[in-house]
Amino acid sequence: MELAGEVVALLVLVAFVAGTVDAVAGGGGLLVVPALLLAGLPPVAALATNKVQAAWGSGGATLAYARAGRVRPLAQWWPALLAALGAGVGALLAARLPVAALEAAIPAVLVGVALYFGLQPRLSDQDRAPRLSQRAFDLAVPPAVGLYDGLLGPGAGSFYMLGFVGLRGHGLLKATAHTKLLNFASNLGSLLVFALVAEPLWLLGLLMGLAQLLGAQVGARLALRVGARVIRPLIVAVSLLLALRLLLF
């Protein structure tokens, strides 16, 4: 499939903006997937191409947070592997299962995420007491959210954030850094499967991925500098916008 040069340039710009927002609060797919569909890509190809470019953005954000000492990827290999496996299974199921019921439920869940982060007065960059052990969390949250990420995708970052903050007691900046690691893992796991069962536009995905990578550096630096003051309102806004998009389009 060939796209006009100006369309490609616009998609690259969208990817940069999405990478910046996604590195802070998730939700980059809110911008990228509709843009790919408007450019004329079939739905499955749009999802697959989105994973090509999203892996660059989430990987770049993870690297930025790791360099700042906010996450240790090698120490988190187990939950990352479970997220990747879950996403791979989700990508396999995407073309085989009716997902209308799940799609109908997701906006309500996203509104709940927005209310949680918007109304919790104690949320900050400080850690709190965990409600779930690390082992139980690893076995439950990464594979479940990864499965959803491969199957549908919108809001996966918000769900990872909710798990880290609500169940593991992480401060918002620490939760954001760990979310980007699992986002990268689930993007990579679903991409490996989509590469076999779908037809992503590799060159377009690479160009958008480079823009995502640059945007992710900007977003990660902003989050590291400002912390909860920018992360919290962006999570609320992104979750509500995702819910509205799923309800109206």
DSSP state string for 161-208: HHHHHHTT---HHHHHHHHHHHHHHHHHHHHHHHHHHS---HHHHHHH
Q: Show the beta-strand stretches assigned E in the chain.
A: none
pLDDT number for residue 24: 73
Q: What pLDDT, on the 0 to 100 scale, is given for residue 100?
A: 60
pLDDT value of residue 110: 67
Return all residues near 62 (Cβ < 8 A) that are at least 6 apart. 71, 73, 177, 180, 181, 183, 184
69-76 own/partner pairs: CB under 8 Å, 24+ apart: 70/173, 70/174, 70/177, 70/224, 71/174, 71/177, 71/178, 71/180, 71/181, 73/181, 76/178, 76/181
Q: Where are the beta strands (DSSP E) in 24-171?
A: none
Q: Over the range 15-26, which residues count as b (16 or more CB within 10 Å of their CB) and which as e?
A: bbbbbbbbbbbb
- Residue 68 CA to its chain's centroid (Å): 20
CA distance 150 to 130: 27
3-class DSSP assignment, residue 95:
coil
Q: Evaluate the CA torsion angle 83, 176, 215, 21 in order and state its sign.
A: positive
Residue keyed to tokens 């309800």? 247
What the block records as the tokens of 130 is 């965990």
10-residue mean pLDDT series, the chain (249 residues): 82 88 72 79 82 90 90 93 95 70 62 66 71 94 93 79 90 89 95 87 93 88 72 70 69
Q: Of 65, 52, 66, 71, which is closest to residue 198 (Cα–Cα)?
A: 52
pLDDT score recorded for residue 6: 85
